[in-house]
Structure 1
């Protein structure tokens, strides 16, 4: 919990809702290393953060926390770029960051497989490279800061074991295909919940790409085809909130359970009011702290490689107030 209080207070609600992202034109700069041996030491380092998509509430939160945390480092200038949930755009942004000769690049992949060769190009160019939320496996020389997505899904799935009624009908909302976090969270739900509850029936399942609007559209169709849905099982909070909005005020859906992951401010409010059931926190403030520390340690030579995970506490109605209080202090939730 202390990690939330350290930097989260620096972010305003306006910044959370509307992040100003930097452009991506190619400029000249100094090489980040001398091509081998000791890394060149500088008075100021240019760091690019390539975010997955600002339409994703968690990605927007993380990008703002990155900006806030970078302000703590006098020798780091951070520029943020929006991948717009598009592999082509994100790959082009990585190429531009390499051409711009940034000293370090932090990459939040949209699709690990699609970004992998471009991330490897950054490493091969001698640029400090960190993958985050999610990490990308199979890259020689990259560092990573992430969470354990299986554990994130498992802690929520385990809570659902006793909450979802017998013989329940449920719907499942998945993240993007081949996304490390989405795949591992879904695997956790399979092993920790569905394998233990053979009485539960999945009446509909589809990919909503972390997107609230896509989840809303799917849930509108599902609620018409299935007048009895006992629970929404979502691989993130954004999709869960979209599904809930789709059935808001609809007869027969009062009391429907809803589960997510991320612990976003919106989700904590939904849990407090009893609309959403539970989520697990993926602390954007802690991720930002660890990413900037990793970049600084790698650039300064204090570390050669970094691989670290944040925690994933469960948020339910019983403890949601402590998180809401922290978000209010940060300006992410109005008083």
Structure 2
């Protein structure tokens, strides 16, 4: 694990530096930059990206990639905001982006139900709006760039059917309540794995809010109460990595989603079992392509999904190399 820590230092520093997210203060900007709805006639567009939380490793990676991809567009200025995994803060940021007349707002919702009315306000104000990671359902208008969270969970759950031993005791780590990705991934695990494996017992399950530290605390308690845990089933990699820190060297199987740099290293080292990749680079590319085409009038609506390849010990080196090339893992 010392090797992992050294390698991940580059990822942590890069994420923290590149994702120097704006806090909860109102973005001042130029209020005379143009009225909402007239963006097609402009030479430069101001886009607000409201990220879920810098403490979430995937959200930090995605924000990093969004900034990098925005640099490829001479007519787009991207400002990034940290929602701090707090619904009130994120909702306030959406309101601030409307008040400050951003041409477009890209929202990574913390809680889709909580953010929905505020996102709808932006749409109703004539602002180009994209929801991403997760897509927010129930909006009238709006656009989305996302992955299929059910499939992300299903492809990993299919592996677990053969890998988790008969009569196993498992624990389950869930994302925030009401989060589309967390709910869909958990549904996939239920339908693909648990319904097919009644011999498996869930000895503990709780929400860890995508957070590594929360997952670590839960796993410390669970492992004391249940010394024979065979597998960790997590709705994201960050929580899986935290849970594994509570049971080092015990050979517990661990499944996640996201394919983060940390997870790929853990899988390559035989510590974590499998994940499915949610490629932040691809999400960022599609988001910036979408917002640019919407702002310039090239298209009227965008709703697209990225793929979800599985990462195991057999192919982890390929993805580790991807992160090395991206500067997110040190060689």
TM-score normalised by L of structure 2: 0.94
2-structure distance, mates of 1:101, 1:17: 28
The residue that corresponds to 1:29 in the other structure is 31
Structure 2 unaligned segments of length 5 or more: list them. 1-9
1-structure distance, mates of 2:202, 2:245: 20
- Which of residues 286, 307, 311 is equivalent to 2:307? 311
Pairwise CA distance, 1:13 = 6.1
2-structure distance, mates of 1:180, 1:225: 31
Q: Please give the root-mean-square deviation of Cα atoms over the aligned residues, in Å.
A: 1.4
Pairwise CA distance, 1:255 = 1.6
Distance 1:257 1:124, change over 3 A: same
Q: Is the 8 A contact 2:237 2:258 kept in 1?
A: yes
1-structure distance, mates of 2:74, 2:288: 12
Structure 1 unaligned segments of length 5 or more: list them. 1-10
- Which of residues 315, 321, 327 is equivalent to 2:317? 321
Query: After the TM superposition, which of the residue ranges 62-71 and 324-333 deviates more from structure 2?
Result: 324-333
The residue that corresponds to 1:81 in the other structure is 81
User: Any idea what the Cα deviations from partners look like across 1:102-138, whole Å, max 9, x if unmatched?
Assistant: 0000000000000000000101111100000001011
Q: Is the 8 A contact 1:50 1:90 kept in 2?
A: yes
Q: Is the 8 A contact 1:173 1:205 kept in 2?
A: yes
Pairwise CA distance, 1:31 = 6.0
The residue that corresponds to 2:295 in the other structure is 299
The residue that corresponds to 2:242 in the other structure is 242
- Which of residues 305, 327, 330 is equivalent to 1:331? 327
1:44-55 matches, within 5 Å, as: 44-55=44-55
The residue that corresponds to 1:174 in the other structure is 174
2-structure distance, mates of 1:273, 1:30: 54
The residue that corresponds to 1:156 in the other structure is 156
Q: Please tell me whether residue 70 in structure 1 is matched to residue 66 in structure 2.
A: no
1-structure distance, mates of 2:301, 2:315: 36
Q: Is the 8 A contact 1:32 1:126 kept in 2?
A: no
- How many residue pairs match? The answer is 319
1:5-16 matches, within 5 Å, as: 14-16=13-15
Distance 1:101 1:72, change over 3 A: same
TM-score normalised by L of structure 1: 0.93
